[in-house]
Amino acid sequence: MNNLLDSYKPLFLSASKQIEFWLFSTLVSLIVVNLTLVWRLSQDLDEIAIQILSWGIVLLLLYRQKGKLQLDSDPTATALGLSLIVWTLIKSAIAKRYGDILFLLIPFLSVLGLGLIASGFKGLKQYWQPLLMASILGIPIQFVHAGIDTLEKVIPINLFTAQFAHSMLWYLGFNVAQQGIYISSPEGVVRVGQGCAGLPQIFLLLRITVMFLLIFKVSRRDLWIIPPVAVAIAFVVNSVRVGILALIVANQEAFKYWHDGDGSQIFSLIAVFLLLVFCNFLTRSKNEAEEEFEEEEFAEELEEEVEKHPS
């Protein structure tokens, strides 16, 4: 009997690999359709860039679980999963507006549907990381801006930005003054509006933080450290930008470039770079500490062996 089961084992493994392949191929197809629609409906480079990056993380997380997933669904879960996939395809075909809340649910429902088809209700916990990433995918920049506008009415972040930028310039020796959200210099006066508070950059870095935490294993301490550091980096970098704007306000061409043009994007890149440097520092420190611990452990074991078997 055992020999008979052993003879069928390769067939079961082969079938499992085929199921994984077709599910992965289906997800890639759904991703291509979704990205095409996002680009066609939004025409926003920032949005399509973050969407591509986020979908890439989803695929990476699933690829890491290749060969480890428990593929054991049931008819009810499979039927529901297929219904969700069909619904996402129909919604994709008739979508005309990017801000449609049902269209924004497509990434999450696509991953959820495939998870149900593959592993049923009990196996969904295997996909919590891709599902979390897919749920973040459904938050477009337009909705972020709407939430930012609401948050700024409650928390005067633009005032904090003006105060920080003024203090920074004053300590650097510039002749500046601040009154509320206005910063004045010999070049003129700059008003730090709500759109200059840096909340879009903060949200961008928090999105990247979630991606980093899903990809890399971090300690519980680092889990609480990285998000506040991401917020601090975004706030400080944006305040530096506001300070520069206060010094060049008289030069309209330069002001426009650093306020609305490509110059404003440079500061977002700087903030992302600094966050990645910080995250890399944390992971490197952790790896070095683990290697040092392993070396000490090996040295102790070697000493014990020498003591047991003296020459």
| Listed ranges 21-25, 112-116, 138-142; the one with the highest mean pLDDT | 112-116
Quote the pLDDT of residue 99. Answer: 66
Cα separation of 210 and 208, whole Å? 5
Provide the H-helix boundaries in the chain: 2-42, 45-64, 75-94, 101-104, 106-119, 128-137, 141-154, 157-171, 199-215, 220-247, 252-259, 262-308
Q: Which two tokens stand for residue 67?
A: 């060969």
Backbone angles phi, psi at 183, to 5 degrees: -120, 125
Quote the pLDDT of residue 220. Answer: 82
Amino acid of residue 185: S
Q: Which two tokens stand for residue 230?
A: 């991401």
Sequence-distant (6+) residues with CB within 8 A of 85 are 26, 30, 110, 113, 114, 117
Share of the chain above pLDDT 70, in %: 78
Quote the pLDDT of residue 80. Answer: 92
Average pLDDT of 100-108?
79
* Residue extents of the structural domains in the chain: 2-138, 145-308
37 pLDDT band, cuts 50/70/90, is: confident
In terms of residues, how long is the chain? 311
User: Taking the model in full, what pTM does it have?
Assistant: 0.68
5 pLDDT band, cuts 50/70/90, is: very low
String of DSSP letters for 215-226: HS---HHHHHHH
String of DSSP letters for 63-105: HHTTTT------HHHHHHHHHHHHHHHHHHHH---TT-HHHHT
pLDDT in tens, 124-171: 888 888 888 888 776 665 566 666 667 667 778 888 889 999 999 999
Q: Which sign does the torsion angle of CA 61, 124, 93, 144 carry?
A: negative
306 compared with 37, residue with greater pLDDT: 37
Residue 101 has pLDDT above 60, yes or no: yes
